[in-house]
């Protein structure tokens, strides 16, 4: 009997131990083992991606759809006719890139650089291509050029409206009546009336801050209060440029002078060597010995004396 109760006690203890281990290991959150099938979906927080997403998608709700992406690998492009976006490798025609987003161009543009600045126009329209502060219509598509512009068809991709070629002298522009008219006092060159039509500013004027020519500030004047231009930095820049140009010209002159000296020196050496070679090639007849010179001189003297005697004898006989 005692042996029976001993076995019963041991079995009961083993059961309690097994239940304790089960609760401590298999039911404890810190030691819980989860045996689940292989996961085929990608987790995005509370969202789960469908399999076989479009190549431009990072996660998606619908397979092989560029408009069902969680996020994009390259660029996000807004949709024209409904809310939402799609993922693209590059912007479609009629969109422009801003950061990592493709935004829609104006309906008046075929392609554009900004929303209201066209790059090409639909149909046969002309593009105003005057990137000038006096022309706020730069990048617009129109049917015909305004009077101050002329059409340009040299670029096959897109016909343009550009500034008329100025046929007048510096300081004048060609008015609508084909008469050369003086530019504004603020302009050195211009293509129309007023300071907004300056192509370059006159002396003591500048357009560095606001885009059109204004007078330079005097000493002590605040550009904000007096509506003038701070030309000190421009003068310093011009002085630096002129100094650099002077140094460059001086170096160039010195270099050219040295080159000329070297060339002349080489030519003189060549001429001297040529003369020496010529002199070495001349054959000189050897001079006779001293005794031969004396005998030759004596023979010459005797022959001359004989000739004189014969002459005198001939005179006496006659």
137-168 pLDDT, tens digit per residue, is 889 999 999 887 889 998 888 999 998 888 88
How confident is the model at residue 131, as a pLDDT? 78
Between 74 and 240, where is the model more confident?
74
Q: Are residues 96 and 48 in the same domain?
A: yes
In a domain, 136, yes or no: yes
In a domain, 110, yes or no: yes
Q: Are residues 84 and 47 in the same domain?
A: yes
Q: Is the pLDDT of residue 299 over 60?
A: no
Q: Which of 196, 211, 239 is the last residue of a domain?
A: 239
Tens digits of residue pLDDT in 51-106: 889 999 999 988 989 998 999 999 999 888 778 899 999 999 999 999 999 999 99
Q: Are residues 128 and 146 in the same domain?
A: yes
In this structure, the dihedral spanned by the alpha carbons of residues 103, 105, 110 and 114, taken in order and rounded to 10 degrees, is -90
- Count of CA atoms in the C-beta half-sphere (13 A) of 80: 8
Q: Are residues 176 and 228 in the same domain?
A: yes
- Count of CA atoms in the C-beta half-sphere (13 A) of 41: 13
Q: Are residues 94 and 157 in the same domain?
A: no
- Paired residues of 180 in beta bridges: 174
In a domain, 122, yes or no: yes
User: What is the mean pLDDT of the segment spanning 210-238?
Assistant: 77
Range of the domain at 145: 105-164
Q: Is the pLDDT of residue 312 over 50?
A: no
Q: Which of 219, 239, 259 is the last residue of a domain?
A: 239
CA distance 65 to 80: 17
How confident is the model at residue 296, as a pLDDT? 52
Q: Is the pLDDT of residue 196 over 70?
A: yes
How confident is the model at residue 297, as a pLDDT? 47
- CATH number of 87's domain: 2.10.220.10
**Number of separate domains in the chain:** 3
In a domain, 299, yes or no: no
Q: Are residues 231 and 180 in the same domain?
A: yes
Q: Are residues 73 and 47 in the same domain?
A: yes
Report strand pairing: 149-152 vs 141-142: unpaired
Query: What does the DSSP assignment read for the chain?
Result: -HHHHHHHHHHHHHHHHHHHHIIIIIS-GGG-----PPP-SEEETTEEEPSS--TTEEEESSTT-TTSEEEESSEEEE-SSSS-EEEESSPPTTEEEETTEEEEPPTT-SEEEETTEEEE-STTPEEE----TT-TTTT-EESS--TTEEEE--SSS--EEEEPP--SPTTEEE-TTS-EEEPPTTEEEESSSSGGGEEEEPTTEE-TTTSS-EEBPPTT--HHHHT-B--HHHHHHHHHHHHHHHHHHHHHHHHHHHHHHHHHHHHHHHHHHHHHHHHHTPPPPPPPPHHHHHHHHHHHHHHHHHHHHHHHHHHHH-
Q: Are residues 57 and 94 in the same domain?
A: yes
In a domain, 318, yes or no: no
In a domain, 134, yes or no: yes
Asked if 173 contacts 163 with a C-beta cutoff of 8 angstroms, the reply is: no
Q: Which of 103, 128, 146 is the last residue of a domain?
A: 103
Q: Which two tokens stand for residue 279?
A: 């002199």
In a domain, 257, yes or no: no
Q: Are residues 124 and 158 in the same domain?
A: yes
Tens digits of residue pLDDT in 98-130: 999 999 999 999 999 998 899 999 999 999 998
In a domain, 12, yes or no: no
């Amino acid at each position: 009997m005692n042996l029976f109760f001993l076995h019963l006690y041991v079995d009961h203890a083993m059961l309690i131990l097994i239940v304790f281990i089960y609760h401590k290991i298999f039911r404890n959150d810190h030691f819980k083992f989860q045996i689940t099938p292989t996961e085929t979906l990608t987790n995005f927080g509370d969202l789960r991606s469908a399999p076989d997403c479009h190549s431009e998608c990072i996660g998606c709700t619908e397979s092989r759809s560029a408009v069902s992406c969680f996020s994009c690998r390259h660029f996000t492009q807004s949709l024209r006719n409904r809310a939402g976006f799609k993922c693209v490798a590059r912007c479609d025609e009629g969109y422009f890139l801003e950061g990592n987003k493709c935004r829609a161009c104006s309906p008046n543009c075929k392609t554009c650089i900004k929303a209201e600045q066209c790059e090409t126009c639909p149909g046969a329209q002309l593009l105003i291509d005057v990137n000038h502060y006096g022309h706020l219509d730069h990048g617009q598509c129109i049917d015909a050029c305004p009077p101050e512009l002329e059409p340009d068809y040299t670029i096959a991709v897109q016909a343009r409206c550009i500034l008329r070629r100025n046929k007048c002298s510096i300081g004048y522009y060609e008015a609508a009546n084909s008469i050369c008219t003086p530019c504004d006092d603020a302009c050195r060159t211009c293509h129309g009336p007023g300071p907004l039509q300056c192509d370059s500013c006159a002396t003591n004027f500048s357009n560095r801050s606001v885009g059109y020519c204004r007078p330079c500030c005097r000493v002590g004047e605040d550009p904000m209060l007096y509506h003038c231009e701070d030309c000190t930095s421009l003068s310093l820049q011009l002085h630096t440029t002129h100094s650099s140009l002077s140094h460059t010209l001086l170096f160039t002159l010195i270099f050219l002078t040295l080159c000329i000296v070297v060339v002349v020196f080489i030519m003189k050496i060549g001429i001297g060597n040529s003369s020496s070679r010529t002199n070495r090639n001349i054959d000189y007849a050897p001079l006779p010995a001293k005794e031969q010179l004396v005998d030759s001189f004596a023979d010459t003297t005797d022959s001359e004396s004989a000739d004189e005697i014969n002459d005198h004898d001939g005179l006496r006989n006659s």
